[in-house]
Amino acid sequence: MRILVQRVSRASVTIDGREHSHIGRGLLVLVGIEAADGDEDIAWLAGKLLRLRIFDDAQGVMNLDVTQVGSEIMVVSQFTLFASTRKGNRPSYIRSAPEAVSHPMYDRFVEHLRREFGGEVATGVFGADMKVELVNDGPVTIWIDSRNRE
């Protein structure tokens, strides 16, 4: 499982020309799921995300996590995070889990975050053609992979 975390001033998801969800200051989290991923990956990534200290403290040092600053979270499914460009110029998505696996995993990830975060987690719509708009704050963008636990 992979997440791409962006610290944002604001973010929104629009589907068919209508805003579906939005957040103010917080984290926009793009989620990619592999067929081999399981509940252990969900728990590890959710915990890592909620403890990620990427918000500034009073001294301007990235030392606070999303719960400490009272920010918001938005989670959007993103199967292209597992794109492979090894052969040629057309990306292959063979490592991305099929919808029958990834959709329930995505839902469990969001529910796990809601329980641990203790607040609402905004989302996109799994499988929809979404327009994601964001203002990256910093910019701060961090890639986390549950198979590469650095």
Return the pLDDT at 137. 97
- With DSSP H G I counted as helix, E B as strand and the rest as coil, what are the percentages for the chain, rounded to 5? 25, 40, 35
Cα(133)–Cα(67) distance, integer angstroms: 23
The set of catalytic residues is 78-80
Return the pLDDT at 148. 86
Residue 115 has pLDDT above 90, yes or no: yes
**pTM for this prediction:** 0.94
pLDDT digits (tens, 9 = 90+) for 41-66: 999 999 999 999 999 999 999 999 99
pLDDT digits (tens, 9 = 90+) for 19-31: 999 999 999 999 9
Planar angle of CA 67, 73, 79, nearest 5 degrees: 135
Please choose, from the candidates 81, 90, 97, the residue with its C-alpha nearest in 3D space to the C-alpha of residue 29.
81
Band of pLDDT at residue 95, cut at 50, 70 and 90: confident
Handedness of CA 57, 109, 101, 150 (dihedral sign): positive
